[in-house]
Structure formats: structure tokens, C-alpha cells
Amino acid sequence: MHKLRLLLAICLLGISCAQAAIDPELLKPLADDDSDRRIAAILALVEAAPEEAQPVLKAMAEDSLALAGERVVVVGEGGRVFDAASKRELTPPPVGVETIGINNRVRRELASALAALRLFSAERAVRWQAAQEVNQSADAKMLPLLERALAAEQDAAIRARLQLARAQASLGSSDADVRLDAVRTLGESSDPRVRQLLLPLTEKRGQTWVEPDSAVRAAAGTSIRSIEERLAWADNLGRAFTGLSLGSILLLAALGLAITYGVMGVINMAHGELLMVGAYAAWAMQSVFRAHLPGALDWYLLAAIPVGFLSAALVGVLMERIVIRHLYGRPLETLLATWGISLFLMQVARTLFGAQNVEVANPSWMAGGIELLPNLMLPWNRIIIVAFSIAVLVAMWAILNLSRLGMFVRAVTQNRPMAGCVGVPTGRIDTLAFGLGAGIAGLGGVALSQIANVGPDMGQGYIVDSFMVVVLGGVGQLAGAVWAALGLGVFTKFLEGWTGAVVAKIVVLVLIIVFIQKRPQGLFALKGRFVES
């Protein structure tokens, strides 16, 4: 019985080896001096033996394929040599082994062939990636392989990619009906590359149309218009999302300003530098994790959130206690003093961290994004910043509406003299409110560090926008700050797409000035007896 099993195993092994062997005549042209014959040999090998061809072509792409006399071999690790056709090791290794060199043209064809071969992998992720690569380089020579892959593929998303690749490859067909079907199929794509592929079909070279068939030309024009409509829709959606993420940053920057300006009427020109403090706190925590906790580096950002809040809040409290407290009721002097503080903080940052920008890397869990369309990618870092802004907004609402501190802040905002008369410690509330507003600005800096450069001057670009959000939304109004920040962010991004960044800034500023002239109280007017009187 044992002998029978051993004999059966040997027979099965022999059968599998026989199946794995490649006809040596298919391999010899791979060493030809002519690139066209090499490319033809690659395609013939893929068509004849797709499973066995992959290791050979991979060795060729890695410059491990060689010629030993008349035999094509693969040079492995340690100088071991294997016959490319049978995969058997040659012992002793042959002498005079010469590597088969390839040029860039052959290398491109190899990459396309290897991607096509991966379409038959058992792993979905490998097939998906291969379908993406094939879409970049499909031509008529790959049609038989694409047909086989489509017949075997069950996944709907991969099939859709393969159908586009087949349509792209069919554009080179001599049959007008095949080209017509291909053009109509490609018209369902949202890929800008497909549009560029179809454009030549509607053009002339001299007095001759590139596409001789009028029906195919008309279908190409219709497909191009359909693709352009989808691309425009995706571009607008992308601008809206970018504006939303910009509005989230403006909201974090303006929330703290809405509190300090709304409670104390202080025009704090150093508010942008509080953003900078939060951003440098994120960089400092990244440095600490790199030095002492390299295995947990991806989580430095979570530690940076409380550190950024507390650092900026401490700076804000010191500003209020040392300088601003003595200048209440003198807005011009307060403005000049806080401007001087902003210059001081920038110089401190230059002294401690250097004048150059510092690197703050995204954690790995914030890398990449969600691809909704070929020309629309929503980055994870911006998605998380939007979610973070919502969380901070909810926390702020809870503090202002559900806590004793929030009740005191609202009382001082609406009627400071009366709040003082009923026992509210207005001086302490000023300090706490200023610290809270500064801490929120620090959170904005932590978020900003994930999408912008961190340097001593980074806060200067946000101070004007923050004041515009506060004034447009209504002083001391959270709802107004939300709508103003998101509205300004989205409107600015759409305007930049039409007029450019500089003109968009000017137009937005002019529109806000006109709006404030008509409605000085902003979008949401403050309510209270003191205000109404």
C-alpha cells in the first residue's frame, strides 16, 4: 500500500511538472536583439501559458533572465541557475551566462503583461490593482487576455474596470461596429484619461479624419460630453469638500475668537499665534514619540490634542492676566498691544524652533483617502479634521449651554454690569473665557498641522479670516460662527476656481463689508436686555 501511494505521488508530481513546463521555443525570442520580436514573444508567451509565464516575465523585469548558450535561464540567489522552461536547477551552474538586457519600451510592455497576468490571481486585492494598471495601458494586443479575464471574473467592480479596459483596447479594431461599441462603453466612464483617449477620434489630421467612420465620430462626441459633465460634477463636489475642510479650520480658529471678542470685546491680533502654539505642540509630541515611543508613533496626534489645548490656553491666560486686563475699554491700545504680543510670540517660536518650517507627518491611519470617482479623492486627513471640528463644536455647545461656566459666560456677554451685580465674578470669567478661547485656537493649530506647513508665521494667514467669520456670523454666536465659517470656506473655494486665489480674497472681503453695512449685527443677532436697550 505504501509503495502504491509513493508511486501515485511520483506520477502526480511528474504530471504537475509537465504541466508547469514551457516550450523552450517560446522563450528563445525573449533574448532577440530586436525589440519588436521581444514584445511579440512576450505576448505569445502570455497567450500560450499565462500561469507559467508570470515567473519568467517577472525575472525578465528584474534583470534576472539570462542566456546560457541556447538555453534561457533564470539566475537566482547565491548564483543558482534554473532552466526557465522546466524550472529545474542546473547543477553544476553553466558557464558563460549572459543577462538579457531590456530597454524602456520592452520594460513597459513587460509591466503591462505582468499586470494582465495578475488578473487571474486568487486574491481580489491583487486582481483589483491589476485591473487598475491594465486600464492605464490596454491595447488591441491584450484583447484575448482581457476576454479570458472577463469570462473568469465574478466581482462586479473588477468586471466594470475590465470592461473599460476591453473597450479601450477595442478602439484599435479594424471593425467599425467594434469601435462604436467601445466608444459607447467608454462614454460611461468618469476618468479624465478616457476623455483624452476619445478626443483624437473627433479631430482631423490635415484633410483626413482620424476616425473614418462618421457614426463612431458622433458617438465619440456624445461620450466626450457625457464624461465632461461627470467630471464637472466631480470637480464641484471636490471644491465643496475642500471648502468644507477649509471652513472647519476657520471654525476652529474663529470659535475661540468668538468667545473672547464676544465676552470682552477684545480685538486680539495675537489669536493667529495661538494657532501656531497648538501646531508646535503637535510637532513637539511627534518628536517625543519618535524619541521615546517609536512603536506608538501613529498615536502622537491623540496626545497632541490635550497638549495643544493646554499650551494655547496657558498662553491665553498669561496674555489676559499680564496685558489685556489693564486695557479693557481701550480698543485701539488693546489692538496695538496684542499685535505686539503676536510679534513677540513669533520671535519666541523662531528662537526655540528655528525660522524654517518644521515637519509634522500624518499618522498612517490618516494616509490615503476615499476615491469616489477617478478625479475625486477625499483625503482621510481632511475628513478627520471635519469630524474633529464637529466634535469640538459639540463640546463648546455643551460647555456654553449645560455648564455653570457657560451660563456665566453668556450672562457676561449679554449684560456685564447686571451679571456683576448678581455675583458673577466677571474678572475671573474673563480669564477663563480667554483661556478657553485660546485653547480652542490651539486645537485648531493641531488640526492645521496635518494639512499645512508649521512655522512661526503660519497664524498670520488666518487672523483676518477668523475676524471675518466672527463679524459675519454675529459676535458671540456659535451658530453664526458655524454658518459663516462653512459658508466662507465653500464660497471661497468655488470663487478661487473661477477667478483665482487673490481676486477671490478681495471679492469675499468686499462682499462682507457690504453685508456688514446692511446688517451690522451679522447673521445671528445677539439677544439680551442690555443689547436691546
Kindly report the pTM of this predicted structure.
0.69
CA atoms of 413 and 525, how far apart (whole Å)? 13
347 lies in the same domain as 472 = yes
Note whether 184 and 45 are same-domain residues.
Answer: no
Per-residue pLDDT at 388 = 92
Query: What pLDDT score does 104 carry?
Result: 84
Residue pLDDT, tens place only, 123-152: 888 888 888 877 777 777 777 778 888 888
Q: What is the mean pLDDT of residues 452-470?
A: 82
* Whether residue 272 is found in the same domain as residue 372: yes
Which pLDDT belongs to residue 522? Answer: 66
The set of residues, in sequence order, having a beta carbon less than 8 Å from that of 375 and lying 6+ positions away, is 190, 191, 192, 231, 234, 235, 238
- Out of 221-230, 436-445, 520-529, pick the least confident: 520-529
Tens of pLDDT, residues 88-101: 888 888 877 888 88
Q: Are residues 297 and 383 in the same domain?
A: yes
285 within domain boundaries: yes
Q: What does the pLDDT average to over 406-422?
A: 79
| Domain endpoint, select from 183, 212, 241 | 212
In a domain, residue 420? The reply is yes
Name the range with the highest mean pLDDT among 32-46, 280-294, 462-476.
Answer: 280-294
Quick one: pLDDT at residue 308?
A: 93
Closest CA to 142 of 24, 54, 39: 39
- Residue 358 in this model has a pLDDT that exceeds 70: yes
Q: Is residue 220 part of a domain?
A: no
Q: Is the pLDDT of residue 381 over 50?
A: yes
Which of 48-52, 291-295, 350-354 comes out lowest in average pLDDT?
Answer: 48-52
Would you tell me how many other CB atoms lie within 10 Å of the CB of residue 79?
A: 8
Is the domain of 153 the same as that of 261? Answer: no
Q: Which tens digits make up the pLDDT trace of 314-324?
A: 999 999 888 88
pLDDT digits (tens, 9 = 90+) for 270-286: 888 999 999 999 999 99
Q: Which long-range contacts (CB under 8 A, 24 or more apart) does 503-510 make?
A: 508/468, 509/468
**Inter-residue long-range contacts of 399-403, CB under 8 Å, 24+ positions, other chains counted:** 399/436, 400/478
Q: Of 102, 136, 159, which marks where a domain is finished?
A: 102
- 340 and 276 housed in the same domain: yes
Q: Tens of pLDDT along 112-131?
A: 788 777 887 888 888 888 88
**Does the pLDDT at position 533 exceed 50?**
no
| Residue 56 is assigned to a structural domain of this protein | yes
H helix or E strand, kind and range, residue 28:
none
- What pLDDT, on the 0 to 100 scale, is given for residue 495? 81
Q: Which pLDDT belongs to residue 305?
A: 93
> Within a domain: residue 320?
yes
Query: Do 70 and 159 fall into the same domain?
Result: no
Residue 286 lies inside a defined structural domain of this protein: yes
Nearest CA-CA partner of 442 in 311, 250, 260: 311
For residues 287 and 392, membership in a common domain is answered with yes
83 and 123 share a domain? no
Residue 239 CB: number of other CB atoms within 10 A?
A: 17
Average pLDDT over residues 343-361: 89
More confident residue, 24 or 227: 227
pLDDT for the residue numbered 529: 42
> Which 3 state secondary structure label does DSSP give 10?
helix
In a domain, 109, yes or no: no
**C-beta atoms surrounding 387 within 10 Å:** 11
Tell me the one-letter amino acid at 412.
V
The three cell numbers locating residue 397 = 455647545
Per the prediction, the chain carries an average pLDDT of: 81
Query: Measured between alpha carbons, how far is 264 from 405 in angstroms, rounded to an integer?
Result: 15
d(CA 522, CA 244): 21
pLDDT at residue 106 greater than cutoff 90: no
> Is the same domain home to 255 and 177?
no
The per-residue pLDDT for 263 is 62
245 and 206 belong to one structural domain:
no
Quote the CA–CA distance of 215 and 169 in Å, as a whole number.
19
User: Pick from 102, 132, 157: which residue ends a domain?
Assistant: 102
Of 304 and 484, the structure prediction assigns the larger pLDDT to 304
Distance CA 200, CA 210 (A): 7
Sign of the C-alpha dihedral computed for residues 511, 512, 518 and 519 taken in this order: positive
Q: What is the pLDDT of residue 304?
A: 93
Backbone angles phi, psi at 89, to 5 degrees: -75, 140
Q: Residue 282: its pLDDT value, please?
A: 93
What residue numbers bound the domain in which 26 lies?
Answer: 19-102
Phi, psi of 376 (to 5 degrees): -140, 105
Tell me: do 134 and 73 sit in the same domain. Answer: no
State mean pLDDT over 350-363. 88
In the chain, how many domains are there? 3
Average pLDDT over residues 451-473: 81
Query: In angstroms, rounded to a whole number, what is the distance separating the alpha carbons of residues 218 and 225?
Result: 11
Residue 202 has pLDDT above 70, yes or no: yes
Residue 325: DSSP 8-state: G
Find the range with the poorest average confidence among 81-85, 198-202, 473-477.
Answer: 473-477
pLDDT for residue 278: 92
Looking at residue 393, which CATH number applies to its domain? 1.10.3470
- Looking at the chain, the whole-number percentage of residues with pLDDT higher than 90 is 10
Task: Specify if 219 maps to a domain.
Answer: no
